[in-house]
Amino acid sequence: MEGKRGSECLLKSVSNIDFNPIFQKAESISCQLCPLELAVYLRLQWQGQEKSTNNILHKHEAPQDAVTVASPVIDPDPNHPKGFYLRNIDGQLWLRGYICVFHPEDRFAFIGGK
């Protein structure tokens, strides 16, 4: 689903977007942050997400094959989750909160985009 639109949603990898910090420059490629509640709807609708080949979770890093829903940070407290990510582990679809650092292979869901 990389780089394809489904309704108004676009998935991009950080390396394809080629910017840092990610959320501050989303507008430059015509992307908008998602409302936080969109993560719930994406999880309910996206039943065919690829299965992760690695079910190990690393503290403060996006899990392998996860898609982070790019949304505004509601609470700057470093101990409070910053948003949600979607993941498929052994056929179990996940919606989880995150506190992490992003890497070039990480993927994000935005609204709109080029």
CB atoms inside a 10 Å sphere around CB 62? 22
How much of the chain is helix, strand and coil, in % rounded to 5? 15, 30, 55
Closest CA to 1 of 65, 57, 62: 65
The pLDDT, as a whole number, for residue 18 is 41
Say if CB 73 and CB 82 are below 8 A apart: yes
Q: What is the pLDDT of residues 22-81, one digit of tens each?
A: 676 677 778 888 899 999 999 999 999 988 877 666 666 677 788 989 888 888 787 888
Give the predicted TM-score (pTM) of the model.
0.73
